[in-house]
Structure 1
Amino acid sequence: MIMMMKITHLPFDLITDILSRLPAKTVVLMKIICKSWRNLIDDYYFVNYHLEQSLATKTNLHYVVSTPKLYLQEYAHLEEPFEQNCPVLYSADFGSFDNPIELRHPFKNCKTPVWVIGSCRGLLLLRVDNGHLLLYNPTTQTYNVLPLLIVYQPTMSDALFDYGFGYDHVSRDYKCVRIFQSLYKEIWCPLCEVMVYSLRTNCWKRVVDVPCYFRSRGWGNGVLVNEMCHWVGTDSDDMYKHIVAFNFTDETFSCLPLPNALLNYQYEQFHGLHMEMLDGSLSLLANRYPHCDLWVMKEYGVAGSWTRMFTFETLDTINLERPIGYSSDKKKLLLKTSLFRLLCVDLETMEYTEVTFADWNRGLDPHVYVENLLMLDYAEFIDESHVRKKRGKRKNRRRRRRKNEN
């Protein structure tokens, strides 16, 4: 009689390998099987091993997009209700870009708009309208509130904020960079302040300024490629010169070349020049009516490696802004347009299909993230309901502790 071996009796290395290949949400459910599995899944080294496995195989990838959900709030001193935006986040995989699922994020019912401004190794960088920044893991539903930065903004100036989010493999630390640039129009004198946040130390510090003044196009959010954050912008004369890059390891700036075909064009000659990470490489969407060219830097940092991959027809009154990602079979490409719509383009027929979310046909801040098991420390959020929830959890822990002592 052959006895069936229980799965819990498998060699530990084999169990580790099997679990590391499963989606993070599935792995979390495996904690209930036995204590040894729970200890393994909660272990810091397994959490990172699982993440590195997903990044290496490009599996467990999803895209996240936010939509404005309107709700009404009565104010005693107003005769009519007042409209505000409530963030609703949707997530979907890269199989077909269909069936997005609404995320039950912990600040869903806050009374302040929340924007996704960066993504790195499964974590999202969010910006709240009142100036707060948050790190959020959509898989484990945990988050951290970054210390608030106060910036003096001089009058009679052209002030810009640019943000970037990345990971330093040397120190194994998640970092956020905020670039503040202000240009006195009367004397054309630039001011600059570059601050870097470290998740390991949970504090900001000032680093070297940018080597040149640039005005970023789009939302001022950096594009993470090769452990560096990138911005494409113009100089004071609205001329495209180069790409500004920030290295998260040594916290310094450098410049990368643009495609030679795009140099020396005035900004007005473009309907838009937008940069994004596509399949691990820097990419540019150059809108020049009636066409839109997709350029990809095949070899990082090499000007001659810029390659024009696709040419799309420009839609009426709609500019193509950002390539989000290929489908799993590389036959489709998800694009963001200037009217906050997401389009899925068939790369064989070049036909467009609109992506919708429940009863809303537009999406904001689309980003790619990978499922992971990283748990962020809970920090107080600006919404009072979350503060009360945290206090209730503390009371329950103290109550259980006293019960165990008795």
Structure 2
Amino acid sequence: MSSLTGEYKVVRAFQQEILPIPNKPSRPSVLEAEVYTLGTGHWRSLGPIPVTYGLDIFQEFNGPFLNNHCHWIVRDVEGDHEKIGTFDLENETFQLFPSPPESVKENWFPHRRLAIVKGCLCKLRTYYSELTIWMMKEYGINNSWHKEVVIRRGISVDLEWPLYKPIHLIAGLKDGSILIVFKNKMCVFDPRSEMFEDTKMFEPNLSGQGYRPSFLKLQHFKAKSPANRANDGRGQRKSMAEFLPNIKLIDSSMEDLPAELTTDILSRLTVKTIIHCRCVCKRWRNLVLDSSFVNLHLSRSPTPTGFIIHHNPRTCANPGILEWVEIEDKVDRHHLHYDRLLSLDLRNRAPIQQYTKMHQVGSVNGLICLWEYGHKVDNTYVCNPITREYMILPRQRYQRDRFPGVIYGFGVSSQMGEYKVVRAFQAKTFVQNGDKCAGQLSVLEAEVYTLGTGQWRSLHSVPVTYLLNTFNKFCGQFLNNHCHWIVADNEICTFDLDNETFQLLPSPPSVKKYWFHRQSLAILKGCLCILSTYDSKLTIWVMKEYGIKNSWHKQVVNQTIQGPLYEAIHLIMGLKDGSFLILFENIVCVFDPRRKTIEDTKFFKLPLSGWAYSPSFLKLRSFESEM
């Protein structure tokens, strides 16, 4: 682009062959040039270039743009020396440019490439078994060339030698490394260790270059009509059609795509990208809010892509903050990072009472159920951090005592697609003996709330064998249309969300049942699993086939934890490299079963809790009775 006029130009130079004349001496080929300014609609001939410029067929044909000039590596025909040729986009003239001091006549097989790194012109030279990178610190000053990198054979053992193919520099990274393309592979070169590493993120046979995105529209460049076009030189060189296709003005955008195709494209993006897409235009915003898009996006993101952190302060009057944490989960590595754009301050979203605590009940399809309890307080909330909506469920039919055992569950039925909250608790009844109460019997009551109905329904008494275990977590894990809890005697109790009945599920074999034996349920890669802690030993059981007792497998046993363990360890999610993200003593840690280590992530504030989360755009307004 021209710095003065702001015109965008395309320039090309080519060897124009002159046919010999009979009985006359042969004439050398002529290097000609032409330029195209966007918006003019035609090419303009610049005539012959000075004869001292010669094209080097072994070098790249595209020229890096810097400081209003395009740059190429050319040959000085008279001296047969390597030069840097430049083209000034203002006065449209060619000239020579100072080269690095060693760029004199070389053997025929060196490869050289020009690139732009951190605003400076660079030159890469590969010669048999050596790679050299030169950088011009001050543009146009010959003495400002500095030799930044020299790599010789025997140092970078992972690079194939000799270097018969050029290396293309893409961009410089902040850590000092360099992104390059070598033998059609994207690699990272570290000058400190002098090693090349294949990123393995792209298919082979590729090329690349640095790119700065913008919203510049090609509609701004309106070509002139053919009647107003000046001489474009095409009559002089009929071979132009062989090199360039017909230039057509692109006058279309994403706005012109059918709604079905746009919905399909957007539904394949990450949640964070879709959130940004909602701000592009009103049409996209309406598409994202449409129920068909919500369902399509849910079907394409069935597994958790991160987890929710609940920062739960020790002060009873503060319900804390929900934050969604993304995970860069690879087979060979994982990386955690905050996404603060999706934090939700519960103090601003619900009328929290004083002297209460907020606990997570469960999460399904992006909806999160929370339970607030305290003295004379017993509230249930459902929220979606992505849409920033919440609802308060009506008060339960049965009022529990202040400190009874209670379990909660949240899920969606497979047949009707109804979202339900279920809870069971110990209710006290009194046996009348004359004028006095002779005693108390503990009865396990249950009730269920279906979103959209506006009321709780009593399920009456639960079988007495299902006694609550106050030492284990009260929230239930949802899987295969069932909510799951660990109850007394370390049994697994389930609730079917379709027929709304409780039943027992087979437990792992050989599970010791001491009072200080702690267990927790979790979902690991679509399977129900149990984390069992006893003394200083951690065991993870996985049910490979749901409901089949013999399918329980002891997957992990770790005896290196400093014990004894008086608290349960809660599994948040499994990572692709075989590690586990766990919650241990209110700390988010990474457990590596291969090294048998538990490592604190160290960037979460205490105290907190966490659970796996699959975000969605499901709107709570679809459940009209609560809004």
Pair 1:203 & 2:436 matched: no
Q: Which residue of 2 aligns with 1:228?
A: 482
Deviations 1:248-285 (A, max 9, x none): 111111211101222xx4332x5312212222211111
Amino acid at match of 1:123: L
Which residue type is aligned with residue 88 of structure 1? Answer: I
CA-to-aligned-CA distance 1:64-97 (integer Å, 9 cap, x gap): 12223367xxxxxxxxxxx744412232123246
C-alpha displacement of 1:227: 1.6
* Secondary structure of 1:14's aligned partner: helix
Equivalent residue, structure 2, for 1:53? 300
Is residue 193 from structure 1 mapped to residue 467 from structure 2 by the alignment?
Answer: no
Instruction: Give, in angstroms, the shift of residue 184 of structure 1.
Output: 7.0
CA separation in 2, counterparts of 1:378 and 1:8? Answer: 28
Give the one of 331, 334, 343 matched to 2:578.
Answer: 331
Number of the residue aligned with 1:316: 563
Instruction: Name the amino acid aligned to 1:44.
Output: S
Match of 1:250 among 499, 523, 527: 499
Shift of 1:208: 5.0
Please tell me whether residue 370 in structure 1 is matched to residue 614 in structure 2: yes
Q: Which of 518, 526, 529 in structure 2 is aligned with 1:272?
A: 518
Larger radius of gyration: 2
CA apart distance, 1:351: 1.9
Q: Aligned letter for 2:410?
A: F
Work out whether residues 361 and 368 of structure 2, in 8 Å CA contact, stay in contact via their aligned partners in 1.
yes
Superposition CA RMSD, Å: 2.8
- Consecutive unaligned residues in structure 2, runs of 5 or more: 1-246, 329-333, 431-437
Q: Is the 8 A contact 1:161 1:178 kept in 2?
A: yes
Cα shift at 1:154: 6.8
Residue 94 of structure 1 contacts residue 326 of structure 1 at CA under 8 Å; is this kept in 2?
A: no
Determine whether 1:140 maps to 2:140: no
Q: Give the structure 1 partner of residue 344 of structure 2.
A: 105
Tell me the equivalent position of 2:160.
none
Gaps spanning 5+ residues in structure 1: where? 72-82, 380-389, 391-406
Q: 1:363 to 1:152 in 2, by over 3 A?
A: closer
Q: Which has the higher contact order (CA 8 A, sep 6+)?
A: 1
TM-aligned CA distance change 1:336 to 1:23, over 3 Å: same
**Identical amino acids, percent of aligned pairs:** 27
Per the alignment, residue 326 of structure 2 pairs with: 93
Q: What is the CA–CA distance in structure 1 between the aligned matches of 2:299 and 2:494, rounded to whole Å? A: 24
The answer as to 2:267 corresponding to 1:20 is: yes
Contact 2:412 2:420 in 1 (8 A): yes
| 2: CA distance, partners of 1:169 / 1:191 | 30
> Structure 1 pair 69/159, CA: closer, same or farther in 2 (3 Å)?
closer
Match of 2:467 among 201, 214, 227: 214
CA 1:16 to 1:346, structure 2 compared with 1: closer, same or farther past 3 Å? same
Is residue 342–residue 362 contact of structure 1 (8 Å, CA) maintained in 2? no
Give a deviation string over 1:102-131, Cα, whole Å, max 9, x none.
554253355553222211111111112321
Equivalent-residue separation in structure 1 for 2:258 and 2:317 (angstroms): 55
Q: Is the 8 A contact 2:366 2:615 kept in 1?
A: yes
In the alignment, structure 1 residue 178 sits paired with structure 2 residue 423:
yes
CA contact (8 A) 2:529 2:542 kept: yes
SS of 2:277 mapped into structure 1: helix
> Which AA in structure 1 matches 2:545?
E
In structure 2, relative to structure 1, the CA distance for the partners of 1:53 and 1:161 (3 Å cut) is same
Q: Mean alpha-carbon deviation: is it higher for 288-297 or for 175-184?
A: 175-184
For residues 563 and 335 of structure 2, the distance between their equivalents in structure 1, rounded to whole angstroms, comes to: 23
Q: Show the 5 A alignment for 1:115-154.
A: 115-129=359-373, 130-149=377-396, 151-153=398-400
Query: How far apart are the structure 2 equivalents of 1:33 and 1:169?
Result: 35
Classify the secondary structure of the residue corresponding to 1:16: helix
Q: Which amino acid aligns with 1:168?
A: S
Residue 159 and residue 68 in structure 1: after superposition, are their counterparts in 2 closer, same or farther (change >3 A)?
closer
C-alpha distance 100-350 of structure 1, shift in aligned 2 (>3 A):
farther
2-structure distance, mates of 1:65, 1:93: 11
Question: CA, structure 1 residues 196+153, in 2 after alignment: closer, same or farther (shift >3 Å)?
Answer: closer
Write the letter of the residue equivalent to 2:523: M
Deviation, structure 1 residue 332? 1.9
**Cα offset for 1:197?**
0.6
Alignment partner of 2:409 out of 164, 168, 186? 164
Deviations 1:195-252 (A, max 9, x none): 1111121221112532333223423111111120011121xxxx33x31100111111
* Partner SS for 1:50: helix
Q: How many residues align?
A: 352
Whole-angstrom distance in 2 between the partners of 1:68 and 1:200: 29
The alpha-carbon deviation at position 153 of structure 1 amounts to 4.5
What is residue 163 of structure 2 aligned with on the other side?
none
Match of 1:68 in 2: 312
**1:139 touches 1:373 (CA, 8 Å); kept in 2?**
yes
**Alpha-carbon distance in structure 2 between the residues aligned to 1:342 and 1:271:** 21
Deviation by residue 1:386-406 (Cα, 9 ceiling, x = unmatched): xxxx9xxxxxxxxxxxxxxxx
